[in-house]
Amino acid sequence: MKKLSLYLLFFISFINAQKFTSTELEIINQGDITTNLPIYQTVEDHQHQTLLNLSTDIDPLDKNTEILVNRMKASLQSTDGGVGIAAPQVGINRKVIWVQRFDKEGEPLEYFLNPVITWRSELQNLGPEGDLSIPNFYDQFYRSNVIQLEYVDLKGQKFTEMVEGFTAVIFQHEIDHLFGILISDKKQKEKGEVFIKVDAFKQSDVVGK
Protein backbone atom coordinates (compact mmCIF):
# COMPACT_ATOMS: atom_id res chain seq x y z
CA MET A 1 0.00 0.00 0.00
CA LYS A 2 2.87 2.33 0.89
CA LYS A 3 4.55 1.56 -2.45
CA LEU A 4 1.32 2.35 -4.31
CA SER A 5 1.04 5.68 -2.48
CA LEU A 6 4.59 6.60 -3.50
CA TYR A 7 3.82 5.84 -7.16
CA LEU A 8 0.63 7.91 -6.92
CA LEU A 9 2.54 10.81 -5.36
CA PHE A 10 5.17 10.63 -8.12
CA PHE A 11 2.46 10.61 -10.78
CA ILE A 12 0.68 13.64 -9.29
CA SER A 13 3.98 15.53 -8.99
CA PHE A 14 4.78 14.73 -12.62
CA ILE A 15 1.42 16.02 -13.83
CA ASN A 16 1.68 19.19 -11.74
CA ALA A 17 5.20 19.84 -13.03
CA GLN A 18 3.80 19.96 -16.56
CA LYS A 19 1.19 22.63 -15.82
CA PHE A 20 1.94 26.08 -17.19
CA THR A 21 2.67 28.82 -14.71
CA SER A 22 0.60 32.00 -14.72
CA THR A 23 3.58 33.86 -16.22
CA GLU A 24 3.90 31.32 -19.02
CA LEU A 25 0.18 31.51 -19.77
CA GLU A 26 0.39 35.29 -19.91
CA ILE A 27 3.18 35.09 -22.50
CA ILE A 28 1.52 32.36 -24.58
CA ASN A 29 -1.84 34.13 -24.72
CA GLN A 30 -0.69 37.73 -25.05
CA GLY A 31 -2.27 39.73 -27.87
CA ASP A 32 -3.60 37.92 -30.92
CA ILE A 33 -2.91 34.21 -30.32
CA THR A 34 -2.77 33.55 -34.07
CA THR A 35 0.33 35.74 -34.47
CA ASN A 36 4.03 35.24 -33.75
CA LEU A 37 5.69 35.78 -30.39
CA PRO A 38 8.76 38.06 -30.10
CA ILE A 39 12.09 36.21 -30.24
CA TYR A 40 14.23 36.70 -27.13
CA GLN A 41 17.70 38.23 -27.53
CA THR A 42 20.89 37.80 -25.51
CA VAL A 43 21.44 41.57 -25.52
CA GLU A 44 18.51 41.95 -23.07
CA ASP A 45 19.48 40.78 -19.57
CA HIS A 46 16.12 39.23 -18.59
CA GLN A 47 15.73 37.55 -21.95
CA HIS A 48 19.31 36.28 -21.84
CA GLN A 49 18.66 34.66 -18.45
CA THR A 50 15.55 32.93 -19.80
CA LEU A 51 17.67 31.53 -22.65
CA LEU A 52 20.13 30.13 -20.09
CA ASN A 53 17.48 28.39 -17.97
CA LEU A 54 16.69 24.67 -18.14
CA SER A 55 13.42 23.72 -19.82
CA THR A 56 10.94 21.21 -18.41
CA ASP A 57 8.56 18.75 -20.06
CA ILE A 58 5.35 20.04 -21.56
CA ASP A 59 1.87 18.49 -21.44
CA PRO A 60 0.99 17.73 -25.08
CA LEU A 61 -2.74 17.61 -24.31
CA ASP A 62 -2.94 21.05 -22.68
CA LYS A 63 -4.83 23.42 -25.02
CA ASN A 64 -2.19 26.10 -24.40
CA THR A 65 0.52 23.80 -25.76
CA GLU A 66 -1.05 23.90 -29.22
CA ILE A 67 -1.28 27.70 -29.05
CA LEU A 68 2.42 27.87 -28.14
CA VAL A 69 3.36 25.44 -30.93
CA ASN A 70 1.48 27.47 -33.54
CA ARG A 71 2.86 30.81 -32.36
CA MET A 72 6.40 29.43 -32.36
CA LYS A 73 5.96 28.41 -35.99
CA ALA A 74 4.76 31.92 -36.83
CA SER A 75 7.81 33.33 -35.00
CA LEU A 76 10.16 31.14 -37.03
CA GLN A 77 8.43 32.05 -40.28
CA SER A 78 8.78 35.74 -39.44
CA THR A 79 12.58 35.47 -39.54
CA ASP A 80 14.89 35.87 -42.49
CA GLY A 81 15.87 32.29 -43.25
CA GLY A 82 15.61 30.71 -39.79
CA VAL A 83 15.61 26.90 -39.87
CA GLY A 84 14.70 26.11 -36.27
CA ILE A 85 13.42 27.58 -33.02
CA ALA A 86 13.07 26.43 -29.40
CA ALA A 87 10.48 27.52 -26.82
CA PRO A 88 13.01 29.39 -24.61
CA GLN A 89 13.55 31.71 -27.58
CA VAL A 90 9.99 32.98 -27.14
CA GLY A 91 10.26 33.16 -23.36
CA ILE A 92 8.90 29.72 -22.40
CA ASN A 93 11.25 27.24 -20.73
CA ARG A 94 9.43 24.17 -21.98
CA LYS A 95 10.58 21.36 -24.26
CA VAL A 96 9.18 22.37 -27.65
CA ILE A 97 11.12 22.87 -30.88
CA TRP A 98 10.47 23.48 -34.56
CA VAL A 99 12.90 22.15 -37.17
CA GLN A 100 13.01 22.50 -40.93
CA ARG A 101 13.33 18.97 -42.31
CA PHE A 102 15.86 19.25 -45.11
CA ASP A 103 15.93 15.44 -45.08
CA LYS A 104 12.33 15.22 -46.34
CA GLU A 105 10.69 16.03 -49.64
CA GLY A 106 9.46 19.62 -49.70
CA GLU A 107 11.67 20.48 -46.68
CA PRO A 108 8.68 20.97 -44.31
CA LEU A 109 8.72 22.64 -40.90
CA GLU A 110 7.85 20.16 -38.12
CA TYR A 111 7.31 20.54 -34.37
CA PHE A 112 8.57 18.19 -31.64
CA LEU A 113 7.41 17.99 -28.02
CA ASN A 114 9.69 16.73 -25.23
CA PRO A 115 12.43 15.74 -27.71
CA VAL A 116 15.28 13.60 -26.41
CA ILE A 117 18.44 12.56 -28.22
CA THR A 118 18.95 8.94 -27.16
CA TRP A 119 22.04 8.26 -29.29
CA ARG A 120 24.68 10.27 -31.16
CA SER A 121 27.23 9.03 -33.66
CA GLU A 122 30.89 9.44 -32.76
CA LEU A 123 31.52 10.70 -36.30
CA GLN A 124 31.03 14.46 -36.33
CA ASN A 125 30.86 17.15 -38.98
CA LEU A 126 32.20 20.69 -38.73
CA GLY A 127 29.85 23.35 -40.04
CA PRO A 128 28.66 26.96 -39.65
CA GLU A 129 25.89 27.95 -37.23
CA GLY A 130 24.15 31.15 -36.23
CA ASP A 131 21.32 31.81 -33.79
CA LEU A 132 18.12 33.84 -33.97
CA SER A 133 18.70 34.97 -30.38
CA ILE A 134 22.35 36.02 -30.73
CA PRO A 135 22.79 39.04 -33.01
CA ASN A 136 25.71 38.95 -35.46
CA PHE A 137 27.26 35.74 -34.13
CA TYR A 138 28.37 32.95 -36.47
CA ASP A 139 31.00 30.27 -36.02
CA GLN A 140 31.98 26.69 -36.88
CA PHE A 141 30.83 23.85 -34.63
CA TYR A 142 31.24 20.09 -34.39
CA ARG A 143 27.99 18.11 -34.37
CA SER A 144 27.25 14.39 -34.57
CA ASN A 145 26.44 13.32 -38.11
CA VAL A 146 23.63 10.95 -37.02
CA ILE A 147 21.30 11.04 -34.02
CA GLN A 148 18.44 8.94 -32.68
CA LEU A 149 15.50 11.02 -31.50
CA GLU A 150 12.44 10.38 -29.31
CA TYR A 151 9.52 12.82 -29.03
CA VAL A 152 5.73 13.12 -28.78
CA ASP A 153 3.10 15.00 -30.78
CA LEU A 154 0.06 17.02 -29.68
CA LYS A 155 -1.92 13.81 -29.24
CA GLY A 156 0.70 12.44 -26.85
CA GLN A 157 1.79 9.77 -29.33
CA LYS A 158 5.46 8.81 -29.00
CA PHE A 159 7.82 8.52 -31.97
CA THR A 160 11.41 7.40 -32.53
CA GLU A 161 13.52 8.12 -35.60
CA MET A 162 17.06 8.41 -36.90
CA VAL A 163 18.13 11.75 -38.38
CA GLU A 164 21.35 12.60 -40.17
CA GLY A 165 23.19 15.39 -41.95
CA PHE A 166 22.27 19.06 -41.71
CA THR A 167 18.84 18.29 -40.24
CA ALA A 168 20.56 16.42 -37.38
CA VAL A 169 22.63 19.56 -36.77
CA ILE A 170 19.47 21.66 -36.43
CA PHE A 171 17.99 19.19 -33.95
CA GLN A 172 21.15 19.26 -31.83
CA HIS A 173 21.22 23.06 -31.91
CA GLU A 174 17.57 23.43 -30.86
CA ILE A 175 17.72 20.75 -28.17
CA ASP A 176 20.80 22.51 -26.75
CA HIS A 177 18.48 25.50 -26.20
CA LEU A 178 16.30 23.32 -23.96
CA PHE A 179 19.33 22.83 -21.70
CA GLY A 180 20.21 26.52 -21.68
CA ILE A 181 23.19 25.97 -23.97
CA LEU A 182 23.91 28.79 -26.43
CA ILE A 183 26.40 28.42 -29.27
CA SER A 184 28.34 31.43 -27.98
CA ASP A 185 28.96 29.54 -24.71
CA LYS A 186 29.50 26.26 -26.53
CA LYS A 187 32.39 27.77 -28.49
CA GLN A 188 34.10 28.78 -25.26
CA LYS A 189 33.69 25.29 -23.76
CA GLU A 190 35.06 23.60 -26.90
CA LYS A 191 38.36 25.48 -26.70
CA GLY A 192 41.15 23.02 -26.04
CA GLU A 193 39.18 20.00 -27.25
CA VAL A 194 40.93 17.84 -29.84
CA PHE A 195 39.12 16.38 -32.84
CA ILE A 196 40.68 13.77 -35.11
CA LYS A 197 40.08 14.32 -38.81
CA VAL A 198 38.91 11.23 -40.69
CA ASP A 199 37.91 10.51 -44.28
CA ALA A 200 34.36 9.20 -44.80
CA PHE A 201 33.63 7.21 -47.92
CA LYS A 202 30.29 6.56 -49.59
CA GLN A 203 29.86 3.20 -51.27
CA SER A 204 29.68 3.53 -55.05
CA ASP A 205 26.54 2.42 -56.83
CA VAL A 206 28.70 0.82 -59.49
CA VAL A 207 31.42 -1.65 -58.49
CA GLY A 208 34.84 -0.54 -59.68
CA LYS A 209 33.66 2.92 -60.67
The secondary structure of the chain, three-state, reads: CHHHHHHHHHHHHHHHHHCCCHHHHHHHCCCCCCCCCCCCCCCCHHHHHHHHCCCECCCCCCHHHHHHHHHHHHHHHCCCCCCEEEHHHHCCCECEEEEECCCCCCCCEEEEEEEEEEEECCCEEEEEEECCCCCCCEEEEEEECEEEEEEECCCCCEEEEEEEHHHHHHHHHHHHHHCCCCHHHHHHHHCCCCCCCCCCCCCCCCCCC
Active-site residue 164, yes or no? no
Q: Of 66, 110, 122, 174, which is the active-site residue?
A: 174
**How far, in Å, CA of 36 to CA of 74, rounded?**
5
- Is residue 120 within 8 A of residue 144, CB to CB? The reply is yes
Q: What is the C-alpha to C-alpha distance for residues 71 and 68, in angstroms, rounded to an integer?
A: 5
Active-site amino acid positions: 174
